[in-house]
Amino acid sequence: MIRTCAHCGARNRVPAARLADDGRCGSCKQALPAPSEPLDVDASEFADIVRDARVPVLVDFWAEWCGPCKAAAPEVARAAANSRGRALVLKVDTDRHTELAQRLQIRSIPNFIVFKNGAPVARHAGVVDHRRMQAWLEQAAGS
C-alpha cells in the first residue's frame, strides 16, 4: 500500500503486514503514523491487507448513491480514528468492485465484515454507530 508523507509528500510503500504500525518516511525520516482514517481500497489491496494484517480489519462495503452508507460514513471514520494502530478500517465501493462484493455475498449496503488472520469473524448489514464497530474489533483482537 502506498502512504503519502504529510511532511514532504513522498510516497512510501508500506507492506500490508506493517500497515497498522507507526513508521518513518523513507525520504525525510519524519513520522509516518498508522492510518487513523478509513482506507479506500481496490480488490487487490483488500486481499493483501486482509491476508497479511496483524490486527483485525473492519471492512465497510458501500456505494456513493446509498443514503444509509453516507449516514454510516462518519461513524466508520470515528471507529478508524479510535482504533488507530490496533485495527485497520477499509472501505470498498461495491459499484467499482462488484466482483469482490459478489464473492463475499454482499446483498445489501452498508455491510460490515471484520476479518482476523484472513478469515471473517463478524458480519453485519445496516447502519451502526462507531461504538459497535469498535466492540467488534476489540472482540476480534481478543479472540
Q: What is the pLDDT of residues 5-22, one digit of tens each?
A: 999 999 999 999 999 999
Pick one of 3.30.70.260, 3.20.20.70, 3.40.140.10, 3.40.30.10 as the CATH number of 35-142.
3.40.30.10
> Which pTM value belongs to this model?
0.94
Q: Does residue 122 contact residue 140 with C-beta atoms inside 8 Å?
A: yes
Whole-angstrom distance, CA of residue 28 vs CA of residue 69: 37
β-partners of residue 116 are 119
Minimal CA–CA distance to 59: which of 74, 44, 49, 68? Answer: 49
Q: Please indicate whether residue 25 is annotated as part of the active site.
A: no
Residue 44 — left, alpha, or beta (φ > 0 → left; ψ -120 to 50 → alpha)? Answer: alpha
Q: Please indicate whether residue 28 is annotated as part of the active site.
A: no
**Per-residue pLDDT tens digits for 20-49:** 999 999 999 999 999 999 999 999 999 999
Minimal CA–CA distance to 24: which of 5, 37, 44, 39? Answer: 5
Catalytic residue among 5, 25, 28, 66: 66
Copy the grid coordinates of residue 90: 477499509
Q: Average pLDDT in the 59-76 region?
A: 97
Catalytic residue among 5, 8, 28, 69: 69
Domain boundaries, the chain: 35-142
